[in-house]
Structure 1
C-alpha cells in the first residue's frame, strides 16, 4: 500500500477526486497505553467503531487482546488478526445461527443478555453440549441506568437493558441453570460525566448484593462498557484520566474483575477525512463536497459535536492560520437535500472549487457506517504518516484558521 508523509503530500501527489480517510495509527497506540496503564481491569475494544483491517491490526499491535463483537462477521475479522483473542458477544439480541457459530465454531464463552427470552435462545444452543458447557459460559446481564443523566449523545437504555429488579431475576435464573454470570451497562456514547460510571458500578454492586450472598464476588466480571469521550471542538468533555480515576475509585467497592470496551475513544483520532470541494458558487455561503451523511458523516444529524477542520488549496498548500473567514454550510455529495452537515463550518473566505478540507477525528463510525447511496463509493482508508491533530480543549471549529 502506498503511504504518504502528510495530507499536503497526498494532495500534491494524487489530487484525489474521491474522499479519503487518512489513517495514522500512532494515536491508537497512545490511547491503548493510557487504558492499559490506568484502567483498573481488562481493556477491550468495540470492533463496531471501525472494523477496517488496518485499524484492527493497529489495535492488536498496540496490545489489545479482548474484543466486543456483535456478529459473525466481526468474530471472523478479529480471529483472522488475533487468533488468541478473548471475544465477548455483547450484542443483547443475537441471531440464533450466530449464537451457534459463536459457541461451537469460535469458542466464545461470554454473551450479554437483557431478558429471559435471549437466555433461552443461548440455552437451547448449549443443550446437549455436555455437563460443563453452562459452567464454562458467562451470561452478562445488561442493566439500564435507573437515573439517566443525559450525558451521552446516544441513549442506549432506550433499546437495551433490564431494570435493576429484572436484572436480579436474570442473575438468579442464569445461576440456577449453572451459568457463570456478570453485569454490564452502557453510560451513553460521548459521555460527559465521569461520575456516571461510578454511579452505575455502585448500582451493579447493589444488584449483585441482592442476587447473591457473596455479592460481586459471585460475578465473573462487571463490564463498564464504552462511552469514553473524545475532545471535539466546543465540547466540555473532561480528560480521559478523570474518567479512569473515577472508575478506579469505584472499583474498590467490588470484588470481581472489571472490563471496559471503548470504541470511539480508541480510534477516533487515528483518521482524518480529506474531502474535495466540488462546487462553490460566487458570493454563496454554500460548499458542495464529495462526501456526506450517506458516507463518513452519518453521525452528524444526530449528535451535538462536529469535527475540527483544516483547509488546503488545490495544490496541497495549507491555508494560512491568519486571514478572513466565513461560515459555510457544507452540503454532501448526493442529490438528497438532507445531505448536509447540521452546523456551519468556519473556513477561509477565499476557499474555492477544487480546494480541500481535512475533517479531524474521523476514525470512528465513519467508514464503518458508510453506504453507497447514489452510487457514490465510501471513502477509502489510506496510510498517512502525519495527519493534523487538534489540542484537547479546542473551542472553535477551525483551530487552524480564523484566530
Structure 2
C-alpha cells in the first residue's frame, strides 16, 4: 500500500486496512511533515453510520447537524447518500445548497435568527425553521410570513456532554401552549414541535418524556386549528467507536409507536456526532519533553510532553464539548515497561493549553514519537483556530474499495456522475495492494 499525503484526493484502498496502518504508511515514509498534526478521515465509517441509522430507526429522517463538522467531504458524502441537513446560519445553508441539496431537505434549526438570516432563508427557499419565543414570531411575521414553523420546547437530559436548555427552548407545559396561540393570532403556519435533549446524551429515557410533551402539544395545536405534521427529536446520539445507538433507538421506536403511530407524522432528527465522531483520528507528534525531578532524591517523578495540537485547535472539544480524550501511542511499548505520571500540553504559549493531566504513560516516550487520538470528528475542526501561529491539521481521506463500490450503488442516479467524477473538488486515486 502506498498512501500519499494529498489533501486534494480521496484514496480508494484495494485492501482491508485500518487507520493505524495508514498512519504508519504516512509517518514511516516521510510523506508528511511530522511537525504538523493531521487527521485520517475514514469515509466508510460515515457510510456505515448512515446504514446503522436507517436499519435501527427507519422512520426517523436524519438531518445532519452541520455545525458538528462541516468538512466538505463529510457534507458531500451525506448529501450524495440522500441525508437531509440541520443548518444554523446563512453560511451553513449556502454550503449545503452548493452541493445540490434541495432547500426542502434543510431545517433552519436556530430558534434565534438575525433579520438578514431570515430574509436569506426566504430568498433561497428554506421554509422550515424553529422558534421558541413570541419576539421571534413577530420577527418572522414581518420578514417571512409564509415560513413553516417548528416550535422548540425544552426537555433536557440529566446526563449530557453539553446542555442546551439554558439557551434554547420554551417550557412545554406553560410557555408552549401560549406560543401556539400567539402564532395562531398572527396567522403563522406552525407545522411541528421539536426538542433537543442535549449534545452527547447519556439519559436515553428522556426521549420518551419529550415525545410525550410533543403529543400533548399536537393535541393543543389541533384545538387551535393547526394540523401538525413534524416531530423533530433533535440530537444527542452517541458516535464514538465504542458506543452504539441500539439502546436509544429501541426507546425512540417504542415511544413513537406509543405517541405517534400515525404514519402521516414526519419524524426527523438532528444527529451530529453520531455520524462523524469515530470517522476522524487525530495524529500528533511530541516536539518537546520536560522531566520534573524530586528535589530530595533527584529522581524523575513526572514528565510533561508538548505536542503539535492543542485546545485552541482540535482539542477545543475539551473546553466546549466536555470531551474526554484518550491518547494512544503509535510506537509499540511493552506492557511491563515503567510508566510515569504524564501531562500533555499543546503547542501554544498559554498555560490553559493543557490536554491530559497525570496520565500513566511509558517513561520512554521521546521527541518525535507519535500520539494519536480516536473519536475526534465531532466539534473539533469547525471550532479550531490558528492561535499563536500554529497551523491547523490537514485531513487525509480514504475509503476501502468494497465500501466505495457500495457507496456508489447507494447514491441516487442524479448525483452519481458528479460523485464519481468530481467529488467536491477531490480527485479519486486508487491505492493498490502492490504499490
Query: Shorter chain as normaliser: what TM range?
Result: 0.7 to 0.9
Aligned to 2:423: none
Deviation at 1:3, TM superposition (A): 6.0
The answer to whether residue 48 in structure 2 is matched with residue 48 in structure 1 is no
Deviation at 1:208, TM superposition (A): 2.3
The answer (yes or no) to whether the contact 2:201–2:238 under 8 Å persists in 1 is yes
Q: Secondary structure at the match of 2:383?
A: coil
The answer (yes or no) to whether the contact 2:278–2:375 under 8 Å persists in 1 is yes
Aligned to 2:348: 334
Deviation at 1:321, TM superposition (A): 6.3
Aligned to 2:427: none
Aligned to 1:257: 266
> What do the CA deviations read for 1:18-61 (whole angstroms, capped 9, x no partner)?
11121111110011111122222211100001111121122223
Structure 2 Cα separation of the partners of residues 35 and 250 of structure 1? 17
Structure 1 Cα separation of the partners of residues 143 and 91 of structure 2? 19
Aligned to 2:335: 322
Structure 2 Cα separation of the partners of residues 181 and 122 of structure 1? 14
Structure 1 pair 44–178 and aligned structure 2 pair: CA distance change class (3 A): same
The answer (yes or no) to whether the contact 1:189–1:227 under 8 Å persists in 2 is yes
The answer (yes or no) to whether the contact 2:312–2:387 under 8 Å persists in 1 is yes
Deviation at 1:264, TM superposition (A): 0.6
The answer (yes or no) to whether the contact 1:289–1:330 under 8 Å persists in 2 is yes
The answer (yes or no) to whether the contact 2:239–2:275 under 8 Å persists in 1 is no
The answer (yes or no) to whether the contact 1:232–1:308 under 8 Å persists in 2 is no
Aligned to 2:154: 144
Deviation at 1:322, TM superposition (A): 3.1
Aligned to 2:245: 240
Structure 2 Cα separation of the partners of residues 214 and 202 of structure 1? 19
The answer to whether residue 380 in structure 2 is matched with residue 366 in structure 1 is yes
The answer to whether residue 227 in structure 2 is matched with residue 213 in structure 1 is no
The answer (yes or no) to whether the contact 1:68–1:88 under 8 Å persists in 2 is yes
> What do the CA deviations read for 1:143-198 (whole angstroms, capped 9, x no partner)?
112xx442111110011111122111222322341413211111111111221111
Aligned to 1:298: 316
Aligned to 2:22: 6
Structure 2 Cα separation of the partners of residues 276 and 384 of structure 1? 21
Aligned to 2:110: 91
Structure 1 pair 16–3 and aligned structure 2 pair: CA distance change class (3 A): farther
Aligned to 1:201: 211
The answer to whether residue 29 in structure 2 is matched with residue 21 in structure 1 is no
Deviation at 1:290, TM superposition (A): 0.8
Structure 2 Cα separation of the partners of residues 185 and 169 of structure 1? 17
CA RMSD of aligned residues (A): 2.2
Structure 2, unaligned runs of 5 or more: 1-7, 12-20, 292-299, 401-435
Deviation at 1:342, TM superposition (A): 5.1
The answer (yes or no) to whether the contact 2:316–2:380 under 8 Å persists in 1 is yes
The answer (yes or no) to whether the contact 1:110–1:139 under 8 Å persists in 2 is yes
Q: Secondary structure at the match of 2:67?
A: helix
More strand by share: 2
The answer (yes or no) to whether the contact 1:185–1:225 under 8 Å persists in 2 is yes
The answer (yes or no) to whether the contact 1:45–1:263 under 8 Å persists in 2 is yes
Mean alpha-carbon deviation: is it higher for 1-10 or for 248-257? 1-10
The answer (yes or no) to whether the contact 2:39–2:280 under 8 Å persists in 1 is yes
- The TM-score normalised by the length of structure 2 is 0.78
Q: 1:275 aligns with which of 281, 284, 289?
A: 284
Structure 1 pair 270–321 and aligned structure 2 pair: CA distance change class (3 A): farther
Pair member with larger Rg: 2
- The TM-score normalised by the length of structure 1 is 0.84
